Structure 1
């Protein structure tokens, strides 16, 4: 399932209101999380987003300042979006380092899999944020050790 590309502008500082004609099929199919391609000035980024239904019936997605900066999008700029069915396991793609570490530790993997979908995404986003591969490995090991010790406060997961 995918939409045709469509032109859009920012709705406010950090979100976009999507046309119903492109979002309604996803929503009716039970797809409240989507994969999005954003295209602007020959730059393309791919990200995952939650489709949030407004009281007006319109749908909104979060479009962060970091994504806007990466795409050189300013308020009022017109850019393109294309929506796809989210076929990822977690609603976000984990980095290779996270997958390798978590899959090598069965106990940590089982604990991780018991978390809510939102908590899983939060930790994956937190690990993916690090630029260095070694830092992503180190933080994932720290996370797995902390959850195995029974630390379930997300604020403490990546602290020694």
Structure 2
């Protein structure tokens, strides 16, 4: 099911947010949708956002980072057009070809990766996804796998090993 709406950029105290209208938030709750893929449009620009649905003080929203705001040329209070649907992918994150290839080539690292909690898997996927250069993605993916194999399963504490 796809949801389309217009909204504005809010703030949850720490980062920007995309406010979700109450009627759509209710549908998301009824359908137990917790992660979405959204196309966010503003000023003839658009980005794809992979996000979790959050609730704070009765307000339902998606996180919307400063980097994403800068990419669209928007700030708090600006209007956005949103088209979103449930993220039904295996990891609920945008798996890159480079990370997938590294996982397929190293079965031990793949088994460790699969044993991680979904949030840690997503952290790792996004660590690779946000890099633009393909070779750097491969290097980061290899480094991540080496960290996993030496027992470091905390993405925030990964060390540069290669």
TM-score, scaled to structure 1: 0.91
Range moving further from structure 2, 74-83 or 115-124: 74-83
The 3 A distance-change label for structure 1 pair 133 and 158 is farther
Range moving further from structure 2, 116-125 or 5-14: 5-14
Greater strand share, 1 or 2? 2
Q: Distance in 1 between matches of 2:51 and 2:136?
A: 25
Count of residues paired in the alignment? 158
Aligned partner of 2:5 in structure 1 is 6
1:118 lines up with 2:110 in the alignment: no
Aligned partner of 1:39 in structure 2 is 41
Aligned partner of 1:15 in structure 2 is 17
Q: Distance in 2 between matches of 1:55 and 1:74?
A: 22
Structure 1 residues not aligned, in runs of 5+: none
Structure 2 residues not aligned, in runs of 5+: none
Q: Distance in 2 between matches of 1:74 and 1:146?
A: 37
Query: Is the Cα–Cα contact under 8 Å of residues 2 and 84 in structure 1 kept in the other structure?
Result: yes
The runs of 4+ residues in structure 1 deviating greater than 4 Å are: none
The 3 A distance-change label for structure 1 pair 79 and 153 is closer
Aligned partner of 2:150 in structure 1 is 149
TM-score, scaled to structure 2: 0.90
> Over aligned residue pairs, what C-alpha RMSD do you find?
1.5
Q: Distance in 1 between matches of 2:142 and 2:68?
A: 28
Q: Distance in 2 between matches of 1:38 and 1:159?
A: 34
Q: Distance in 2 between matches of 1:11 and 1:109?
A: 38
Range moving further from structure 2, 101-110 or 46-55: 46-55
User: Residues 53-64 of structure 1 correspond to what in structure 2 (within 5 A)?
Assistant: 53-56=55-58, 58-64=59-65
User: Residues 66-81 of structure 1 correspond to what in structure 2 (within 5 A)?
Assistant: 66-81=67-82
Query: Is the Cα–Cα contact under 8 Å of residues 2 and 83 in structure 2 kept in the other structure?
Result: yes
